[in-house]
Structure 1
Amino acid sequence: MTLKTPLLKLLEKTYEPETIVDLQFARYDLSFKTDEDGRAILLFIGKRGPTGKIRGERFRRVRQADAHGRVIKDYWERKGEATP
């Protein structure tokens, strides 16, 4: 699975810093963790089980900036399955 534009737009928003955000997007349940600036950095996408954990896939955001704060790299990398 690759992340499509509508989902990427949702993940580009700024949320409350250092929290776990639970949302529903289309037919998927999402849980993602934010960093100290409120950007999504870890994403679980799939179906939420009875325990509340996502069964599906896990993605990690790769974001690198230079010394002046300009973004060099910013993409989502698939890290494997997310299972409870």
Structure 2
Amino acid sequence: MDFDDLLHRYFGSSAIAEIQPGGLMAGIDRMLVDFGLEQDRGKRFALWSLLHLLGAAPDLEAAFESPADREAARDLIDMLAATEQGDG
């Protein structure tokens, strides 16, 4: 799943700054539904990652059955935190 494709699919634009607040909430709601229905681990991880970036990701324990998937999500969280600390 390509990041720009996900943005366009759920929010109608690949430029996140162009998304109106109402459109953002509607897109997040659609993503959460699709996340709950998705069976493919890679696609689920991509959806969860974007939800995390938007501050709407489900808790890791609820989101991923696999310990490996939870660990990959924790690694992503740690990498993003390190990047934020490097910007300050």
Relative to the length of structure 2, the TM-score reads 0.27
Identify the structure with bigger relative contact order (alpha carbons < 8 Å, sequence gap 6+): 1
Larger proportion of strand: 1
